[in-house]
Amino acid sequence: MNFSLWQITPVTLFLIFIAPVAIVLFSLTGDYSENWSHLYNYVLIGYIKNSFYLILGVSLTVLILGVGTAWIITNYDFSFKNFFEWALILPLAVPPYILAYTFTGLFDTFGTANNLIREIFDLSRDFTFFPKVRNVPGAIIVFSFTLYPYVYLVSRMAFINQSRSIIEAGRTLGLNKLEVFYKLAVPMIRPAIIGGLMLVVMETISDFGAVDHFAISTFTTGIFRTWYGMYDIETAMQLASLLLLFAITLIIIERYSRRNASYSNAMSLYKPLSHEKLRGFKNFLAFSACFIPIFIGFILPVVELTYWALNYKLDFFNEKFISTAWNTFYLAIIAAFFCSVLAVLINFSIRYKSNNYLKFMSSFLTVGYAVPGLILAIGVMQMLTFIDKSFVSNIPNIVFTGSIFGLVLAYIIKSYALSNSTIDAGYQRINERIDDVARTLKTSGWSLLSQVHLPLLKTSFLTSMLLVVSEVIKELPATLILRPFNFDTLAVYTYVYAAEERMYDAAAPSIAIVMVGLIPIIILTRMIRRSRPASRY
């Protein structure tokens, strides 16, 4: 390993990571077909309208759910508070498309919930108690109750860091408890909330599975239909570009908010917030406020899926399920391993050969998480087609398009941010003087990495692997497009069955996805506990 390799690696990765996105954006400069005119004149406004309502509805709901529960948990002592503190993150384990599947299974005209009401009250088959959910308000509920933990997490972290002195100062200046909340506490953590909210919006606009299941026309379903229905990849890419430009705007806002987030904990002397003990009706209110989001976002889908799996398809543990689970597992492990290795190499390069362009590239590589999976898939597909045609057409048995390679590449680009933040946090904990001393002990480059850094990064590496595994297992649109022929993952398996309304068959893979999704929840819970300023004293 020579010196320059530590600089070349990030540059090469930068080019590979940026190529699919650049290919998609480049389509804007190409010719516009008749399909584009059709979309532009008749459909595009519908996509924009639906996306706008979704974003607006989801944003408002997650703000209420996320910030509200974070404030209650941080400031009050009530029944099962310790349980709610971590359980409020549980809905993160449920991808929106799985909640959408269970919602339709529950609340459709002949769904479990309506059937139950009819049976209990002996009502006719025409009677429908629960309103239809396959619409924009239904999608808003699905997205809000699965994605609010993003806002809850950042708000909780920020509230934890707020000093009691500031809140007490507000009270002495005449503010009541509610005013302290919305005039002082919330404005102080505004940048953090905006950061969390942007993540929610990005997830909402990137989703394909839930909106497709609810038959709501958005950009992602439009892109999919243009490609697979009209067989017009150019127009699909042009449509994707518009969505990508919106995603880039969100990234900029999110980055900007994160940069300003520090003012939320700019106190010189930290005093932990005191917890007010709630009793009677107030205790019940706080309990309900925390229980309802968990019930809708986690308990309900898990109970329904388990019910389906156990009562209707006890033989779900069949050969097909095992092979699909195995495909998912090894794909996730490969992607997680490479993603984590890349994150280590890049972070090491930055530390070892510190300069501004490496830092810039590293921060750029992390924006992959915000690129919708569908767009990434289109870009990767186009890039691989180009490579196949230009470079490997003469080599027999080598085709990148439709291979595992493309899928793993897309996963790495999409999940790199997770690995990077984990490894970066690991590096923050290694004192830089250790490197100085190691160098004077004739240990540099690869030896420094393997003998000193890697052993110290073991936990971070494992955490990074787990986070990426759980992310990859949930990923749907990119997998759907890039998977090799006849190659299913749990997410695809779930999607295909749900699309055929075979909800009972979709139950077992859905449960598996949710279970794996619990891994990062456990890690996050531990990280939050460790991050409390009070725990350091």
Partner 1 sequence: MASLEVKDLSHSYIRGKSVLKEINFSLEAGEILSILGPSGCGKTTLLRIIAGLEKETSGSVNIDDHIISDHLHTVLTENRNIGLVVQERALFPHLTIINNVMFGIKETKSKKYEIAMRLLKLFKVDKYAYNFPNEISSGEQQRVAIARAMAPNPGILLMDEPFGTLDQSLTHQLRTETRKILKDNNTTAIIVSHDFDDAISMSDKVIVIDDGQIVQSGSAKDITHISPEKSVKLGSIISNS
Where on the chain is the footprint of partner 1 (CB under 8 A)? 431, 433-434, 436-444, 451-452, 455-456
Query: How much is the CA Rg of the chain, to the nearest whole Å?
Result: 24
Closest approach, Cβ 458 to partner 1, in A, equals 8
Q: What span, in angstroms and rounded, lies between the C-alpha atoms of 343 and 454? A: 12
The amino acid sitting at 108 is: D
In the numeric block, the tokens 């289109």 are attached to 378
In the bound state with partner 1, the residue whose beta carbon lies nearer, of 252 and 434, is 434
3-state secondary structure of 390: helix
Segment 440-445 long-range contacts (CB within 8 Å, at least 24 positions apart): 444/352, 445/1, 445/2, 445/3, 445/6, 445/352
Q: Which is nearer to partner 1, 29 or 440 (CB)?
A: 440
Q: What is the 3-state secondary structure (H, E, C) of 362-390?
A: HHHHHHHHHCCHHHHHHHHHHHHHHHHHH
Between 108 and 435, whose beta carbon lies closer to partner 1?
435
Report the C-alpha gap between 51 and 99 in whole angstroms: 19
Tell me the closest approach of the beta carbon of residue 463 to partner 1, in angstroms.
17
Structural contact between residues 399 and 460, judged by C-beta atoms closer than 8 angstroms:
no
- How far apart, in whole angstroms, are the C-alpha atoms of residue 62 and residue 303? 23
Q: Are 512 and 95 in contact (CB under 8 A)?
A: no
Nearer residue to partner 1 within complex by CB, 442 or 536: 442
If the CB atoms of residues 277 and 442 are measured against partner 1, the closer one turns out to be 442
Spatial contact of 220 and 477, defined as CB atoms under 8 Å apart? yes
Instruction: Give 277 or 536: the residue with its C-beta nearer to partner 1.
Output: 536
Min dist CB 355 to partner 1, Å, is: 13
Q: At closest approach, how far in Å is the CB of 338 from partner 1?
A: 24
Q: In this structure, what token pair is assigned to residue 275?
A: 């917890």
Closer by beta carbon to partner 1, 436 or else 500: 436
Which residue, 428 or 431, has its beta carbon nearer to partner 1?
431
DSSP letter for each residue of 262-287:
GGGG--SS--PPPPEEP-HHHHHHHH
Which C-beta is closer to partner 1: that of 396 or that of 455?
A: 455
Task: Give 283 or 444: the residue with its C-beta nearer to partner 1.
Answer: 444
Tokens of 171: 């009270």
Please state the closest distance from residue 36 (CB atom) to partner 1, in A. Answer: 53
In angstroms, give the least distance from the CB of 347 to partner 1.
Answer: 18
Residue with Cβ nearer partner 1 (174 or 455)? 455
SS (H, E, C) 423-458: HHHHHHCCCHHHHHHHHHCCCCHHHHHHHHHHHHCH
Q: Within 10 A of 354 (CB to CB), how many other CB atoms are there?
A: 10
Specify the 3-state DSSP secondary structure of 76. strand
Neighbouring residues of 63: CB distance < 8 A, sequence distance ≥ 6 = 151, 193, 197
Question: To the nearest whole angstrom, how small is the minimum distance from the Cβ of residue 346 to partner 1?
Answer: 22
Which helix or strand (DSSP H or E) is residue 421 part of? helix 404-428
- Closest CB to partner 1 among residues 458, 532: 458
One DSSP character per residue, 399-414 reads --TTSHHHHHHHHHHH
In the complex, what is the shortest distance from the CB of residue 154 to partner 1, in angstroms, rounded to a whole number? 31
Angle between helices 44-62 and 136-161 (to 10 degrees): 40
The residue to which tokens 């779930």 are assigned: 494
CB of 431 to partner 1, least distance (A): 6
Q: Which is nearer to partner 1, 266 or 454 (CB)?
A: 454
Three-class secondary structure of residue 345 per DSSP = helix
